[in-house]
Amino acid sequence: MNPAPIRRNPARPNREFTFYFPTARDLFLIFSAALGMGVIRDGRAAARATPDMAIVASLPGQYKTTLLLENSEPVALRLRGMPQPSGGSAPRVIWRCDRGRLERTESSGENRFTPPPVSCVSTIEAELNVSAAKPGAAAPPAAKAILRVISPSPGRLLKNGVIDGFTLGEYLDPRAPGVSKDSYAAKHPDKFQPPRAFYLVDDASRDLPVSPHFKLGDFALDYPWFSLGKRQYIALDLGLLRKMEDLIAEFNRAGLPGDSIRIIYAFRPPAYNSSSIAKDGAESLKAPFSVHQYGKALDIILDADGDLQLDDLDGDGKVTVRDTIPMMRCVNALDRRYRSEKIPLYGGAGLYDHHDFWERPVQTPYVHVDVRGFLASDGTLIRWPAQWPDTKETIVWSKM
């Protein structure tokens, strides 16, 4: 059976209010409700929804009422905050969705959702019907919970560098004859395969929160400077979201303005990456196998004053590449913890005194962070550059 379409709530009619003096039974009902007993009906407590009623998925990737899926596999759903059944009857929940497919249209609080085969935002609604207080009385308004699901398009839909009419470009083959055997791509070819999923960033998905500090649109190509709200597809590793939230917590613990984090670069499609390298030549800071292309990297600054530049974090009255040091200490602390706890979110990190995204109106030093998930051949964390850009002194990464 196909689920019923979502309908908007009709406007509530105006009602006249009159004063009355409560009877003893009325007082008992009021106090019973305050004690969590619900409404008394036929000698038992009727079901009542809790204030935190929400649709909860069985998978990671959910933040509040947004669920970011890694693939198009079915996902189990549960209505959290369901009242306890009374008198042997389970509460009645009506389920609706505008895209994809629900296993049931009516259940006692559990369901299963199969997302559409291409990337989009699906809205799922669960409506809990509450019984009337007594026979013949009007039932209270139904309680509702909504979940918005961002599903991806599978990577196999990328054909000749194009997906759904959008040109991403073709991913380089890490096993190709021309790739240096000493490169990270040649040493870890499994980490440089085309992404298994791509997300559509458009008006429906751009502003949906996917973590406490980020929206999906934040990971588009230098949003908003270059993308300007254009419809596009991106790759995004969910591990990167977790790492960034962990890193923000590290910043805050260190006394840095972690909540003022700003992204300079997130996802870069291969077509843009390769064309920029060709156009900029020696001025380009991009690498052919940049992990930005796989949705695994961010270039970031801390910008509490909102001037689009890295803040003066060392307090010397000027903004230089040395202001990246407090940030890098936090990145190193987090990656060392990941490594010791065998959490494969450690990755490369680097500091820069300028960016090469010429469309941005302001230059700034910044820090690169990624979740490539492998170490250098000697077991150390991958860090760059070897020298400070301003003085050419050697950077002793082990002491930072």
Instruction: Quote the CA–CA distance of 349 and 356 in Å, as a whole number.
Output: 17
Fold category of 49-151 in CATH: Immunoglobulin-like (2.60.40)
Q: Is the pLDDT of residue 193 over 80?
A: yes
Q: Is the pLDDT of residue 47 over 50?
A: no
Cut 0.85: pTM above it: no
- What average pLDDT does the chain have? 85
Question: What pLDDT is attached to residue 271?
Answer: 92
Which residues are CB-contacts of 397 (< 8 A; sequence separation ≥ 6)?
332, 380, 381, 383
User: Which of 21-25, 30-34, 83-87 shows the highest mean pLDDT?
Assistant: 83-87
Q: Which amino acid, 64? A: K
Question: What are the beta bridge partners of residue 370?
Answer: 297
Q: Is the pLDDT of residue 7 over 70?
A: no
Q: How confident is the model at residue 129 (pLDDT cuts 50, 70, 90)?
A: confident
Q: How confident is the model at residue 124 (pLDDT cuts 50, 70, 90)?
A: very high
Three-class SS state of 166: strand
**Residues of the chain above pLDDT 70, percent:** 80
Question: What pLDDT is attached to residue 5?
Answer: 45
Q: Which has more confidence, 11 or 258?
A: 258
Quick one: angle between helices 325-340 and 238-253, nearest 10? Answer: 120
Question: What pLDDT is attached to residue 1?
Answer: 46
Sheet of 349-352, strands arranged across: 261-265, 297-302, 366-370, 349-352, 383-384
Mean pLDDT of 341-360: 93
Domain residue limits, the chain: 49-151, 154-399
